[in-house]
Amino acid sequence: MISKSHPRYESLKLREKIVKASKSGYLADSAMIAHGRGEAFDYMLREKTTLPAKRAMYVTVAMMLLAENPVISVNGNTTALVIDEIIEFAKTINAKIEINLFYRTDERVDKIASLYREHGYPGILGSNSDDIAYINEIKNPRASASKKGIYTSDTILIPLEDGDRAEILSKSGKNTICIDLNPLSRTSKMSDVSIVDNVVRAIPFMTKITGDLKMQDEKLLRNIIEEFNNEDNLKESLKLFEIKEE
């Protein structure tokens, strides 16, 4: 039991979730390494959501609200850290949720699909019984997608995705949006919109701003998107990383 008075309470709670998920058998073997890398980047951001991240999130919500078939892709780490927040965001913004694993095994997919059902979301895509197709007809697991979900989607949110897949998705002409604490990752560079923030802060933030953006007219949403430049925004994000003593 971690004491709330511990100065690293929030961070340790996240570790606890990752450890629990690992014991449950639905995380990738390298999930803890990925989480640790994320922690290090987040530490350099002082575990705060930055202005460029907020800007990217306004663009994301605008894109998802204007999309015909928006989909949120989920994997082991995302499920462990923010399953309820993802479900809430998907419902608020009217997006589908699809399981997509870098290290896909039927066992992991079944466990993750069951978890979403247990948490009140029966319509999860990408399960073992789902109808799968290949993006750009590339017959490799990185290009596989649910026909009702990512395969036909026009806008896709990919928290913690790998670079190959981000590239395939982006080249398929879909609006590809990542959440990745590493602004230098191939995923961040390949995506159309890169949110350099911790997924645990980013998803609730986007749920919060969706209500407001839903009230706006289409023209304003299109303006928000048109004024955004991902390359410049990533450069601005990168400048905010620093290590210094308090």
Interaction site with ligand PTJ (CB under 6 A): 28, 30-31, 34-35, 37-38, 41, 75-77, 81, 101-103, 160, 162, 179-182, 185, 198-200
Q: Which is nearer to ligand PTJ, 23 or 219 (CB)?
A: 23
**Euclidean distance between CA atoms 55 and 184, whole angstroms:** 18
- Minimum CB–partner distance for residue 235 and ligand PTJ (Å): 17
- Minimum CB–partner distance for residue 222 and ligand PTJ (Å): 28
- Minimum CB–partner distance for residue 35 and ligand PTJ (Å): 5
Which SS3 state, helix, strand or coil, does residue 182 take? coil
Q: Which is nearer to ligand PTJ, 56 or 221 (CB)?
A: 56
Q: Which is nearer to ligand PTJ, 28 or 150 (CB)?
A: 28
- Minimum CB–partner distance for residue 188 and ligand PTJ (Å): 8
Q: Which is nearer to ligand PTJ, 134 or 163 (CB)?
A: 163
Residues facing 73 on adjacent strands: 98
**53 touches 202 (CB < 8 A):** yes
- Minimum CB–partner distance for residue 136 and ligand PTJ (Å): 20
- Minimum CB–partner distance for residue 148 and ligand PTJ (Å): 20
Compute CA distances 244 → 7, 43, 55, 76, 240, whole Å: 18, 11, 25, 33, 12
Q: Which is nearer to ligand PTJ, 61 or 200 (CB)?
A: 200
Q: Which is nearer to ligand PTJ, 135 or 221 (CB)?
A: 135
**148 touches 125 (CB < 8 A):** yes
Which helix (H) or strand (E) covers residue 74, if one does?
A: strand 70-74
Instruction: Using alpha carbons only, give the angle 27, 159, 189 rounded to the nearest 5 degrees.
Output: 125
Dig out the tokens for 135 from the structure: 């993006």
Q: Give the closest residue to 137 by CA, choosing from 145, 149, 129.
A: 145
- Point out the residue whose Cβ comes nearest to ligand PTJ: 38
Q: Which is nearer to ligand PTJ, 199 or 234 (CB)?
A: 199
CA terminus-to-terminus distance, the chain: 28
Neighbouring residues of 17: CB distance < 8 A, sequence distance ≥ 6: 80, 81
How crowded is residue 52: how many other Cβ atoms within 10 Å of its Cβ?
23
- Minimum CB–partner distance for residue 223 and ligand PTJ (Å): 28
